[in-house]
Amino acid sequence: MFTDAVRTSTPPLHLAYDDFRQAVAHMPLVSIDLIVENANGDCLIGLRRNPPARNWWFVPGGRILKNESRDEALERLLLEELGAGLSAGALPRFTGVYEHFYDVDFTGTAGTSTHYVVLAYRVRLDGDAGQLPRAQHTDYRWVSPAEINTDATVHPYTKAYFTE
């Protein structure tokens, strides 16, 4: 879809709960964050439902699954996080690699850290934030980059996308 990457013949692997917990405890995860902009230049942030960034405003995104190419993951996350595929001329633009470190895991257990290597992409989406999927976020809002940088409830890792 986005590059000439070879599609895998093995389907993406979702780990069992205990296996995933062990993986998080012992290795970094690779994920994709979506910096979603609308025609007005506002950006989409969602109130995180789950740890490790629970109750923070954060950009949409998610991890890349085993046996899933980067392009396949990006396509899946656009559907899961935004509920829409891409229209012509709206291809995501890679903006950089980031690292996120948390002192809790996906269960919220303190002392079990989480380390993400994050591939960030900018994408344009016009639509109603009220119609977005609620799996990872309890609420959404469109805000200006300036507001993101001054809002104490926006996670510092999200702010980093707008301060560089």
Split at pLDDT 50, 70, 90, the class of 10 is low
At residue 4, the pLDDT reads: 45
Domain assignment present for 60: yes
Region 70-93 average pLDDT: 79
Domain assignment present for 11: no
Domain assignment present for 4: no
- Per the structure, the count of domains in the chain is 1
Taking the alpha carbons of 79, 91, 33, 4 in that order, is the dihedral positive or negative? Answer: positive
Residue 95 maps to which CATH number?
A: 3.90.79.10
Q: How far apart are CA 161 and CA 123, in angstroms?
A: 13
Domain assignment present for 6: no
**Domain that residue 63 falls in:** 17-163
> 33: which strand partners?
61, 120
Domain assignment present for 128: yes
Split at pLDDT 50, 70, 90, the class of 12 is low
Q: How far apart are CA 32 and CA 64, in angstroms?
A: 7
Domain assignment present for 31: yes
Residues 95-125: tens digit of each pLDDT: 999 999 999 988 898 888 999 999 999 998 8
Reported in sequence order, the residue ranges of 16-91 that DSSP labels E, i.e. its strands, are: 29-37, 43-48, 57-58, 61-63
Region 148-159 average pLDDT: 97
Q: How far apart are CA 108 and CA 62, in angstroms?
A: 17
Taking the alpha carbons of 147, 157, 61, 97 in that order, is the dihedral positive or negative? Answer: positive
Are 132 and 47 spatial neighbours (Cβ–Cβ below 8 Å)?
no
> Residue 86: is its pLDDT beyond 70?
no
> Residue 11: is its pLDDT beyond 70?
no
Q: How far apart are CA 106 and CA 141, in angstroms?
A: 24
Q: Which of 64-78, 111-125, 130-144 has the lowest mean pLDDT?
A: 130-144
Domain assignment present for 95: yes
Q: How far apart are CA 113 and CA 29, in angstroms?
A: 11
With a threshold of 0.95, does the pTM exceed it? no
Domain assignment present for 3: no
